[in-house]
Amino acid sequence: MKVTEHIEKANGKTLFSFEILPPLKGQNIQSIFDGIDPLMEFNPPFIDVTYHREEYEYKELASGLLERRVVKKRPGTVGICSAIQNKYQVDAIPHILCGGFTKEDTENFLIDLDFLGIQNVVALRGDAVKSEIYFRPEKDGHHYATELVTQIANLNNGVYLDEELLNSACTDFCIGVAGYPEKHMEAPSLDSDLHFLKQKIKNGAQYIITQMFFDNHKFFEFVAKCRKEGITVPIIPGLKPIATKKQLNTIPHRFKVDLPDDLIMEVVKAKDNDAVKQVGIEWCTAQSKELVKAGIPVLHYYSMGKAENIKAIAKAVF
C-alpha cells in the first residue's frame, strides 16, 4: 500500500513509522530484525531503509598515480526491503540516491523494486562522499533530486530510457522527497529551498518527509510556508532523540540543525550517557505529543537500528 493510502486509511489517527540502516558488509539480516522486532507492537504501516552510497578509497599505483576504487560498505537495501515485507507484512520504503547511480542504474533499481511489489520510494540527491567536499554526480547520473523524481514519475507513465521499447509496463511508485525545516545545508535561503521542494512536487512527488528537528515551532513554520507556496501533499516530521553528549556537536555540524538551549543545558547537566538518553527520550516524547495533538498524520523516527529509546517514546505517545 502507498504511504498516501496509509494516511487516508488512518482517518486522522497519527501513524508511527521509523527508519533503519542497512548493516555493514559482513553482517546478516538478523541485526536488522533485532532493531525492528521491539517496535512492531506499535503497528508501523511502513519502515524506511536508507541507502548508503559507495565510498571511495585511493590506492597508489607503481607508476605513482592514484587509482580511485569503490568501497561498498552498506549493501543490501533491495534485499532488506524484500525481507522486511516478507517477514512483517508491512511496506518497506527504500531510499534512492542520485549519487552513485547512472540513470540506467536507477532504472534497473526501480525495475527490481517493481518486480518485488515495492510501491513506495524516497528520492534523494544524497550527500557528498566523505573524501569529497561537494556532491559530484555520476557520469550520466542525476545532479538534483528534481531530476530523479522526474525519472521515477516517467516510469510510472511507462516512459523508459530506451524510447524504442514497445508496450512498456507502467510502474506505480508513491514518491517521497526530503524537506528541510531549517533549510538544506547548501541552500542559500529557506525560500530558495522551498522553490526546489515545490518543483519536486510538481515533477511527481506525493509526500514529504523532513530532516530531523528539535524545535516544533520550526516544523510548524515550515509547514505553513509550504502551504502558502501551494504545496498540499502530506508532510511527515522526522524525529530523533538525543542519545549522547557528543551529539550536541555532531548533529549541528553534520546536519546543520539547531538545538534548543533548554535541551542543550539538560544534556550538559546529565551525569552519564544513560541520563543523556533519558533527556533525549523525554524531549522527543514532548515533541511527539505536541505533534499528535496538532493532527500530524505520521511521526517518523530515525532509529538507525537502535530500538530502545524509540520504543520508550512510542510507549508514551501511541
User: Please, what is the angle between helix 247-255 and helix 261-269, to 10°?
Assistant: 150
E-assigned strands of the chain? 15-20, 46-49, 55-60, 66-71, 91-97, 120-124, 174-179, 207-212, 235-239, 298-302
Residues 271 and 180: beta-carbon distance below 8 Å? no
* Number of domains observed in the structure of the chain: 1
State the pLDDT at residue 128. Answer: 53
State the pLDDT at residue 254. Answer: 87
CATH of the domain at 84: 3.20.20.220
Q: What is the CA radius of gyration of the chain?
A: 20
Instruction: Decide: helix, strand or coil at residue 52.
Output: coil
Grid cell in block for residue 96: 534512492
In the block, cell 530506451 appears at 162
State the pLDDT at residue 126. Answer: 73
Average pLDDT score over the chain:
89
Measuring CA to CA, which residue among 214, 257, 217, 207 is closest to residue 239?
214
Grid cell in block for residue 81: 526491503
State the pLDDT at residue 130. Answer: 58
DSSP character at residue 35: H
CB atoms within 10 A of CB 60: 9
Per-residue pLDDT tens for 15-55? 999 999 888 777 788 989 999 999 999 999 999 998 765 54
Grid cell in block for residue 82: 524484500
d(CA 91, CA 176) in angstroms, rounded, equals: 14
Residues 47 and 19: beta-carbon distance below 8 Å? yes
Grid cell in block for residue 111: 525495475
- The answer for residues whose C-beta is within 8 angstroms of residue 9's C-beta and 6 or more apart is 1
CB atoms within 10 A of CB 278: 15
State the pLDDT at residue 299. Answer: 98
- Could you tell me the pTM of the whole model? 0.90
- The answer for residues whose C-beta is within 8 angstroms of residue 290's C-beta and 6 or more apart is 216
- The answer for residues whose C-beta is within 8 angstroms of residue 261's C-beta and 6 or more apart is none
State which residues form the domain around 296.
3-317
State the pLDDT at residue 53. Answer: 55
Low-confidence ranges of the chain (pLDDT < 50): 55-56, 58, 68, 71, 74
- The answer for residues whose C-beta is within 8 angstroms of residue 168's C-beta and 6 or more apart is 158, 159, 160
